[in-house]
Amino acid sequence: MSANLGLQKTNEWKPLRGFSNLFSKENRGWWGTRRWWINALLWTVLLGGLTAIMLFGPNEEVLEATETEIAQAGGLTGYTLWVGLNVFFQFGVSVLAIGTIILSQDLIIGERQNGVAEWLLSKPVTRRAYVLAKMAAHAMPILALLVGLPSAVVYGLLSLKAGVLFPLAPFLSAVGIMAAHTLFYFTLTLMLGTIFTHRGPILGIALGSVLGGALIGGLIPALFYVTPWKLAEVAWMTATGQAMSPALRLSSVAATVVWSIVFVFVSLAKFEKLEY
């Protein structure tokens, strides 16, 4: 019948039928509403502001530092930079994970509960396209506004404090680790949204991992090698160029990436089986 309307039928790759329209819809939820600038402002002010206080404000930690510590950092300015990086990466990695969980906990479960998912899936849309459109459309602004923008501001602050451009490679490596950590919690939260029907278990498991991971890893240190629970420290040590176990660094980063991929596949498999 639609041929009678003189309209061109959508001609998408069948396994991802509906992806582009769903991607536009999800994108619009970020860039067509005030969500983008609220998040841009919030995380930049929070992480950039805290780092700026550490770099330029009266800093007890710097004042109380021993000479050995200052020498290890290459001087007082170097030590101040370490403290600033410590706040940005150690605190920032965890706080961004919490922010990501809060922002994404509702993405699948919200539409499942309010009936929008049922309505969308009654259109010529594959379930694979539905999940992947959500992942792609939300991962980009989360990485750009929660990780990228504050990192760029912090990099500027570090360079200002140092009086020269801060070494880019270790900083970018650390930001990459921060991004991997953020994506881990993003994919974990989405996957939990395909498994559970209420927000409680989603928030409990994801936030429990962020807040309790270090504690569990303290009891069973081997877990640090296969989880993201040590990544905050790994990111900080990478940014400051401090020596650390290459096995721990490589293994924890690789495990985080692998887990994220696994979560994507589990999300797709679980969502395929959901009924409405």
- Whichever of 24 and 242 has its CB closer to other proteins, that residue is 24
For the record, the structure tokens of 211 come out as 């807040």
| Interface with other proteins (CB under 8 A) | 1-2, 4-11, 14, 17-18, 21, 24-25, 28-29, 32-33, 114-116, 118-119, 121-126, 275-276
Q: How far is the CB of 255 from other proteins (least distance, A)?
A: 35
- Whichever of 24 and 197 has its CB closer to other proteins, that residue is 24
Are the beta carbons of 227 and 147 closer than 8 angstroms? no
Q: Which residues make Cβ contacts (< 8 Å) with residue 266, sequence separation at least 6?
A: 191, 194
| Phi-psi category of residue 245: left, alpha or beta, with phi > 0 → left and psi -120 to 50 → alpha | beta
From start to end of 109-257, where are the E strands?
none
* φ and ψ at residue 228, rounded to 5 degrees: -90, 10
* Cα–Cα distance measured from residue 155 to residue 51, given in angstroms and rounded to the nearest whole number: 10
- Whichever of 35 and 172 has its CB closer to other proteins, that residue is 35
Q: How far is the CB of 141 from other proteins (least distance, A)?
A: 15
Closest CA to 19 of 195, 137, 114, 187: 137
Looking from the CA of 215 toward its CB, the CA atoms found within 13 Å total 5
| Cβ burial 187-200 (10 Å sphere, 16+ → b, else e) | bbbbbbbbbbeeee
User: What amino acid occupies position 203?
Assistant: L
- Whichever of 125 and 145 has its CB closer to other proteins, that residue is 125
- Whichever of 74 and 123 has its CB closer to other proteins, that residue is 123
- Whichever of 116 and 261 has its CB closer to other proteins, that residue is 116
Closest CA to 271 of 187, 211, 145: 187
Q: How far is the CB of 272 from other proteins (least distance, A)?
A: 10
